[in-house]
Amino acid sequence: MNTARRTSLLVVAVSLVAAAGCAGERPEARPTTVVTATAEEPEPLTLDVARREFRTFVTNEDVARAAGDERLGLTWVSDGESALTAAEYRKAAFDGDPVRRYEYGTPELFVPKLKPEVYPQWFVASVPRSVRGEEKSTRTAMMAFVLRAPGERWTLSLASQLAPKAKEPEIVKDAEGYATALTTSDTSVLIRPREVPGIQATVAAEGPDSVAARVMKAGPVTTGYYDKARKAKRRAKPKGLTVETVITATPYPIFQLRTENGGGLVLYSLFRNSVTGVRDKEDASAKPPIPPEIEHLLDGTVEGNEIHVSETLQFAAYDPARPKEEDGEGEEPPKADVIADAGGIYKASTPPPRKTPS
């Protein structure tokens, strides 16, 4: 295949997936909302400010976790981290365990030069993080912090963990040490940053034969999600159960930085919602069993014949530069690669049976 045609196919693949969405929905993450601040004099985001706010978060997060103070812990998080943090405190209380505490190493901060009067402001930290008391638990955490308006508090919006064998891309920095931010619609990268979540959601829904798989690598959180969903369905069938899983976009912000060689690092979230039900809807006594991992979110009973589970999943993906026509013949087409992930269940419910129309 000549290079020009290869490039064209990649562009078409991205465009088709962006238009198609996932499971009947458009799985495109909502771009960060821009609001001009006028209420009070804004503090410019600098490297020193980012260092200060990272230290402030780490200190206060540990105080809250040490005390098991959920309300205090929630004041330092936002977006997907709010739901995940609340669920973590609730599970610890249900199990009678202390909330896990973290120890942080020296962070590398990626601070973009943003206009001080335009909000939200944000920066990204890459830092070694371990669970206190757990040996060999150190992982690289990729954390995005956000400030939505002057006078408000910086909060942790997203936290993901670098995969064990993944390599973190080099972020472009200027002579002063500031990172370069991309726009959500940047077309110099293979996938426009705001469409990266949708590409992953589509691969997870459709598997390796999806058109989206032409531009995103296979892995545990792409084609792996597809495989897990199929296995869950097969395991459920002989038990008289059904399982349906859908991955969709979230309303949370995404964060994107320029990497070396023209690529980008994109941090974002997705929702994964699943419904486990009984096949025989006419049998009022038939109930799906409550999985141990959601016991803390339910009261021990199933009112109807379905269990609904919601997860917030958080990722970082390397988005390579869009190939050019003059690129060499015979080279493998570039693909985006999800290099970090985290998240978990934050909500479960057992709604009453649906009424059948008479």
In tens, the pLDDT along 101-154 reads 999 999 999 999 998 888 999 999 999 999 999 999 999 999 999 999 998 999
Residue 36: predicted pLDDT: 42
pLDDT band at 208 (very low <50, low <70, confident <90, very high): very high
pTM of the model: 0.87
How would DSSP label each residue in 4-65? HHHHHHHHHHHHHHHHH-BTTB--PPPPPP-EE--SSPPPPP-HHHHHHHHHHHHHHHHHHH
Half-sphere exposure of 117 (CA within 13 A, CB side): 4
Angle at 80 between CA 74 and CA 82, to 5 degrees: 10
Please count the other Cβ atoms lying within 10 Å of the Cβ belonging to residue 339.
24
Would you mind telling me the total number of residues written for the chain in this entry?
358
Cβ proximity of 316 and 340 under 8 Å: yes
Mean pLDDT of 21-34: 43
- What would the pLDDT profile of 65-84 be if each residue is shown by its tens digit? 999 999 999 999 999 999 99
Residue 192 pLDDT grade (very low, low, confident, very high; cuts 50, 70, 90): very high
Give the mean pLDDT of 154-160: 98
Nearest to 157 by CA among 33, 318, 39: 33
Percent of the chain with pLDDT over 70: 86
SS3 223: helix
Residues in a beta bridge with 246: 273
Distance of CA 35 to the CA centre of its chain: 23
CB burial class (10 A; 0-12, 13-18, 19+) of residue 24? exposed
pLDDT for residue 28 is more than 50: no
Amino acid at 72: L
Of 2-11, 40-49, 58-67, the range with the lowest mean pLDDT is 2-11
What's 85's DSSP letter? Answer: H
Q: Which of 18-27, 124-133, 148-157, 178-187 has the least mean pLDDT?
A: 18-27
Is the model's pLDDT at 338 over the cut of 90? Answer: yes
